[in-house]
Amino acid sequence: MADEFPAGSVWLVGAGPGDPDLLTRKAERLLRTGTIVFYDALVGEGVLALIPASVRRVPVGKRAGRHSKEQGTINDLLVAAALAGERVVRLKGGDPSIFGRSMEECSALVQAGVQVRICPGITAASAAAASAGVSLSLRGLARRVQFATAHKRGDAPLDLDWAALADPHCTTVFYMGRSAAAEISRNLTAAGLSGATPVLLACDVSLASERLLQTRLDLLHIAVSAFSSDQPTLILVGEALAVGGRMQMVGSGLSSLRDGLPQSTSPVRKLDAPSTVFASRPL
């Protein structure tokens, strides 16, 4: 272990979507070996509970719209801790290299002469698809998967290649998408994607509070109102989302908003594919 995590080095560790059971074995080992952990606001409480009491914890925020520390400050904290001889864990929600600004932190550390490595984690898109019993890729329907960030700077419009994102043979996932839901719907439709394209909204993925909502692209601006503004919300778009991956999913938390009206309050929800039934937790 000393060779894997020497004093004065840094590991960027993916905390996964929140459920500690989805943490990699290596990530858990690093958490138990580090001497200081800088963690984001979106890291699950169950994951934080794995950190030994002797290890110092430092919250550094990084929730959309509510950053407790600027990125430059975080970089400086990591460098200072490493140069002081600490074994530093930088714990990030999901995967560090998917909208995690990992290269900004790595660059600052390398420039300071600090050894830094990355331990990947399960990204929220994969966990959301698993919870809903769907596949991000699917032969004949989704030959490509693409991730985009919908994080906006103030009132500025999203600067995205909408023509590429509107590929009907692709599953597109928008991270941090709640505040931009109407804009996403409007621009994808304008770029040629059908308003009937299936959409999956997901928040608190893999946690007991997880919520999944099935809708369609032209109803996205309505469906997103089911989630509070401070909930980190993932928006998945594509035809593959209408085809279930299992005959029955127990505890999936999946609800449906189709054809403009909420479906029955029954705990059993059906997708368009007649053979697929999802059993959900109460919302």
pLDDT in tens, 46-82: 999 999 999 999 999 855 555 568 999 999 999 999 9
Is 5 inside a domain boundary? no
**Does the annotation count 21 as an active-site position?**
no
Do both 181 and 162 map to the same domain?
A: yes
Would you call 193 helix, strand, or coil by DSSP? coil
86 compared with 271, residue with greater pLDDT: 86
Q: How far is CA 154 from CA 64, 107, 151, 201, in A?
A: 11, 27, 9, 23
Res 103: pLDDT: 96
Domain that holds residue 67: 10-119
Answer yes or no: are the C-beta atoms of 161 and 188 closer than 8 Å: no
Mind listing the pLDDT tens digit for each residue in 86-119? 999 999 999 999 999 999 999 999 999 999 999 9
Examine residue 47 and state whether it is found in any structural domain, yes or no: yes
Q: Is 161 a catalytic residue?
A: no
**Predicted local confidence at residue 255, as pLDDT:** 65
Given the residues 92, 167, 176, 218, the one annotated as active site? 176
Largest CA distance in the chain: 60
Query: Distance between CA 139 and CA 123 in Å, rounded?
Result: 22
Closest CA to 124 of 143, 150, 89: 150
Amino acid at site 248: Q
Q: Is 2 exposed, middle or buried (0-12, 13-18, 19+ CB in 10 A)?
A: exposed
**For position 99, which CATH number holds?**
3.40.1010.10
Summarised one tens digit per residue, pLDDT across range 131-143 is 999 999 999 999 9
Domain boundary among the residues 60, 92, 119 is at: 119
The question of whether 95 is a catalytic residue gets the answer: no
Q: Considering the entire predicted model, what is its pTM?
A: 0.85
Provide the 3-class DSSP secondary structure of residue 106. Answer: helix
Is 74 within 8 Å of 47 (Cβ atoms)? no
- Residue 54 CA to residue 57 CA, distance in Å, equals 9
The per-residue DSSP string of 122-173 comes to --HHHHHHHHHTB-SSBTTTBSEEEEEE---STTPPP---HHHHT-TTEEEE
Same domain, yes or no, for 17 and 157? no
Q: How far apart are CA 140 and CA 127, in angstroms?
A: 22
Domain end: 90, 119, 148, which one? 119
Please tell me the predicted confidence (pLDDT) of residue 267: 27
Asked whether the beta carbons of 121 and 16 are under 8 A apart, the reply is yes
Distance CA 155, CA 134 (A): 34
CATH code assigned at 156: 3.30.950.10
Phi, psi of 23, deg, nearest 5: -75, 145
Any domain includes 3: no
Q: Which among 62, 95, 167, 204 is annotated as catalytic?
A: 62
pLDDT confidence tier of residue 1, bands split at 50, 70 and 90: low
Residue 252 · residue 276 · CB < 8 Å: no
Say if strands 10-14 and 277-279 run parallel, antiparallel, or are unpaired.
unpaired
Question: What percentage of the chain has pLDDT greater than the value 90?
Answer: 75
Active-site residue (options: 19, 40, 204, 218): 40
Residue 241, token pair as written in the block: 């989302």
